[in-house]
């Protein structure tokens, strides 16, 4: 069977074809469904252009035309490679666009405004976690990001007034800690930097009430438990209306390192780990739990996810297996309630047999 021939992948291809039919704009349809279910909709923008696009035609035309405005300096710590991923964040094509340059700032702000004016959404989220860097000399240039947040707050307030609606949301996905060291068991050296090293003055954003919520997060959780430093963000938000929604990752490493039987023992271990991770964040003061790069998905593609040595498909508990996906779905449905998470822990795996 070819990697793209699974039933799930055929189903997704069918949905995408339907979306591409005339009058089937995916964003508009998604917004309509969220409106029906009374779910707020925010546009999330990656605030760094880096990643694997640095030397390809997928790079936006604006940055290809203005290579002199890319960030030419290395990341904090001097790293140019991501352990286990290779050279994804730099190379001969330069780094991302430097938001400290006025023309870059204005270009990006125009994109945010266009999206808000063209779609009936409830707000915007700045994702400061996916790829780096986002600004040159971040420790010195952090006022540029604070200006961006303040101006977006003013723009959202003005837009809400014009539409005759309540406050529009401004969220920020930020790093795992304000200024703390990286826990090498959880973060990825060369990828995970604290907020100060990314040029993010989160304290000011919260104190001034510019943001409505903050999602502390790792770039990609390496193991469970993998919670960020929730308590320090909760302390900053105490007495304010800013919500703190730290991020959990459904990604235990033990099924990837070696083969484990698809048994109740494996189910229980995974369920216990991911529930305990979320409950720990609630205990540290979280108002709720956010997710990031967390979807069951179909990991049967051997080109993207080579199976561990000696693993026989269908005989092991692994990321993307049916039992794994079912546990993720059960936890996702309960992430908003500590009480429901505790009930799931006490359910003795009954939910796996329903």
pLDDT tens digit string along 197-206? 999 999 999 9
| pTM of the shown model | 0.84
Q: How far is CA 38 from CA 34, 35, 41, 115, 354, in A?
A: 6, 5, 9, 21, 28
By CB atoms closer than 10 A (0-12, 13-18, 19+), residue 170 is buried
101-105 long-range contacts (CB < 8 A, ≥24 apart) are 101/69, 103/66, 103/69, 104/66, 104/69, 105/144, 105/148
pLDDT tens track for 292-311: 866 544 444 444 444 444 44
Helix, strand or coil for residue 169? strand
- How large is the angle between the packed helices 322-332 and 338-345, nearest 10 degrees? 140
- Determine the average pLDDT of the residues in 67-91: 53
Q: Name the one residue in this structure whose structure tokens are 């305990």.
A: 276
What are the extents of the domains in the chain? 10-39, 40-245, 254-354
- Determine the average pLDDT of the residues in 103-109: 94
* Mean of per-residue pLDDT scores for the chain: 82
Q: H-helix or E-strand containing 91?
A: none
Instruction: Work out the widest C-alpha separation in the chain, in whole angstroms.
Output: 62
Quick one: pLDDT band at residue 76, thresholds 50, 70, 90?
low
Q: Is 267's pLDDT higher than 90? A: yes
Q: Is 51's pLDDT higher than 70? A: no
Q: Is 56's pLDDT higher than 90? A: no
Q: What distance in Å separates the CA atoms of residue 344 and residue 354, rounded to the nearest whole number?
A: 13
Which CATH fold would you assign to the domain 40-245?
Answer: TIM Barrel (3.20.20)
Q: What distance in Å separates the CA atoms of residue 321 and residue 300, rounded to the nearest whole number?
A: 8
Q: How many CA atoms lie within 13 A of 10 on its CB side?
A: 5
Dihedral angle of Cα 112, 114, 117, 120, to the nearest 10 degrees: -70
Q: What distance in Å separates the CA atoms of residue 71 and residue 47, rounded to the nearest whole number?
A: 14
pLDDT computed for residue 112 by the predictor: 95
Q: What distance in Å separates the CA atoms of residue 242 and residue 28, rounded to the nearest whole number?
A: 28
In the chain, which ranges are E strands?
42-46, 123-127, 169-174, 213-216, 243-244, 247-248, 290-291
Q: Find, among 178, 311, 189, 188, the residue nearest to 235 by Cα.
A: 178
SS (HEC) of 124-164: EEEECCCCCCCCCCHHHHHHHHHHHHHHHHHHHHHHHHHHC
Helix, strand or coil for residue 97? strand
Q: How far is CA 280 from CA 181, 291, 292, in A?
A: 20, 15, 17
Q: Is 57's pLDDT higher than 70? A: no
Weakest-pLDDT range from 33-47, 71-85, 102-116: 71-85
């Amino acid at each position: 069977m070819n990697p793209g021939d699974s039933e799930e992948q055929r189903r997704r291809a069918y949905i995408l074809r339907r979306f591409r039919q005339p009058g089937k704009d995916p964003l508009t349809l998604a917004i309509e469904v969220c409106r029906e279910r009374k779910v707020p909709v925010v546009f999330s923008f990656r605030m760094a252009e880096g990643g694997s696009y640095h030397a390809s035609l997928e790079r936006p035309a604006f940055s290809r035309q203005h290579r002199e405005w890319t960030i030419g300096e290395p990341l904090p710590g001097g790293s140019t490679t991501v352990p286990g991923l290779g050279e994804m964040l730099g190379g001969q094509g330069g780094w991302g666009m430097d938001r400290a340059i006025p023309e870059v700032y204005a270009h990006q702000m125009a994109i945010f405004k266009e999206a808000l004016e063209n779609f009936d959404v409830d707000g915007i989220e700045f994702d400061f976690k996916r790829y780096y860097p986002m600004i040159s000399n971040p420790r010195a240039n952090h006022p540029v990001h604070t200006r961006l947040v303040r101006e977006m707050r003013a723009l959202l307030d003005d837009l809400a007034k014009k539409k005759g609606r309540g406050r529009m949301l401004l969220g920020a996905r930020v790093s795992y800690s304000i200024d703390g060291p990286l826990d090498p068991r959880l973060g990825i050296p060369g990828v995970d930097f604290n907020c100060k090293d990314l040029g993010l003055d989160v304290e000011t954003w919260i104190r001034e009430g510019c943001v409505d919520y903050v999602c502390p997060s790792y770039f990609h959780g390496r193991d469970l438990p993998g919670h960020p430093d929730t308590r320090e963000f909760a302390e900053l938000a105490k007495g304010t209306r800013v919500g703190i929604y730290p991020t959990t990752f459904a990604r235990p490493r033990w099924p990837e390192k070696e083969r484990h039987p698809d048994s109740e023992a494996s189910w229980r271990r995974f369920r216990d780990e991911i529930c305990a991770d979320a409950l720990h964040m609630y205990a540290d003061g979280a108002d709720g739990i956010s997710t990031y790069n967390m979807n069951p998905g179909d990991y049967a593609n051997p080109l993207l996810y080579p199976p561990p040595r000696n693993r026989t498909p269908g005989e092991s508990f692994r990321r993307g297996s049916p039992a794994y996906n079912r546990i993720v779905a059960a936890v996702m449905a309960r992430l908003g309630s500590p009480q429901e998470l505790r009930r799931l822990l006490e359910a003795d795996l009954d939910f796996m047999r329903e």
